[in-house]
Amino acid sequence: MMRLENFYWEIGSDYATVLERFSDDKEMLEHFVTTFPNDETMNNIRIAVQNNDDKAIEETTHALKGITANLAFNQLYAACSKLVETIRHRRKEDIQKDFATVEQEYTIIVDHIEHFKDK
């Protein structure tokens, strides 16, 4: 079973702070962390980027930004924030680069989750 304290230490986030956000309910926090890879939001962002749909990119990335803020996935949150700002400021030339950063940070988080679920 996953040891959340270790997981949050590995990703550079403060376990105590995020646990408090979840009213000290370790089981609920673990549920949300371990089911994060099953969430379709990242796939929806990929589709929006492939379709060059700025409105959908903004909406789906903003949704992922909220999820990552609640779970204290700080690096992924920062990458999502940057992509949202890129869309809002109509910097089309930066969308692919910023999306690549979101994908990279997403992969890191999912890899950490899978690693700790196996323990």
CATH number of 4-117: 1.20.120.160
pLDDT number for residue 118: 75
User: Would you list the domain boundaries of the chain?
Assistant: 4-117
Using CA atoms, how far apart are residues 41 and 62, in angstroms rounded to an integer? 10
pLDDT number for residue 94: 95
**Cβ–Cβ under 8 Å, residues 60 and 44:** yes
pTM attached to this predicted model: 0.93
pLDDT of residue 2 exceeding 90, the answer is no
pLDDT of residue 1 exceeding 50, the answer is no
**Cβ–Cβ under 8 Å, residues 2 and 15:** no
> How sure is the predictor about 119, in pLDDT bands with cuts at 50, 70 and 90?
low
Residue pLDDT, tens place only, 60-96: 999 999 999 999 999 999 999 999 999 999 999 999 9
